Amino acid sequence: MSSFVWGSQETQYFNTLTPEHVLEAVEDFGYRTTGRVMQLNSMENRVYEVEIELEEEPDSVSEKFRIVKFYRPGRWNKEQILEEHDFLWDLTDREIPAIAPLKNQEGQTLMQNEQGLYFTLFPKQGGRECDEWSDPLLEQMGRLLARLHSTGAAKVAKHRVKLDIENYGEKNLEFLLKSNKLPSEYRSSYEALAKQIFSVSTPLFKNVAYQRVHGDCHHGNVLLGSTGPFLIDFDDMVIGPKVQDIWMIIPGRDEYSKRQRNILVDSYLEMGDFNRSELKLIETLRALRMIHFSSWIAHRYEDQSFKRAFPTFGSSQYWEKELHDLREQISHIQDNLDQMNYMY
pLDDT above 90 covers a percentage of the chain that reads 81
pLDDT in tens, 26-54: 999 999 999 999 999 999 999 999 999 99
183 closest CA partner among 309, 300, 322, 286? 322
Mean pLDDT confidence for 52-71: 90
Q: Per-residue pLDDT for 262 more than 60?
A: yes
Mean pLDDT confidence for 198-204: 93
Mean pLDDT confidence for 132-152: 97
Confidence (pLDDT) at 183: 95
Domain boundaries, the chain: 19-125, 135-343
Full-model pTM:
0.94
Confidence (pLDDT) at 258: 96
Confidence (pLDDT) at 338: 73
Mean pLDDT confidence for 128-140: 92
Confidence (pLDDT) at 9: 55
Confidence (pLDDT) at 62: 87
pLDDT in tens, 269-296: 999 999 999 999 999 999 999 999 999 9
Q: Per-residue pLDDT for 92 more than 80?
A: yes
244 closest CA partner among 198, 275, 281, 271? 281
Question: What gap in Å lies between CA 110 and CA 121, rounded to an integer?
Answer: 8
pLDDT above 70 covers a percentage of the chain that reads 95
Q: Per-residue pLDDT for 156 more than 90?
A: yes
| CATH number belonging to domain 19-125 | 3.30.200.20
Mean pLDDT confidence for 219-238: 93
Confidence (pLDDT) at 342: 47
Q: Which fold has domain 135-343?
A: Transferase(Phosphotransferase); domain 1 (1.10.510)
Confidence (pLDDT) at 11: 54
Q: Per-residue pLDDT for 167 more than 90?
A: yes
Per-residue pLDDT band at 340 (split at 50, 70, 90): low
Confidence (pLDDT) at 186: 97
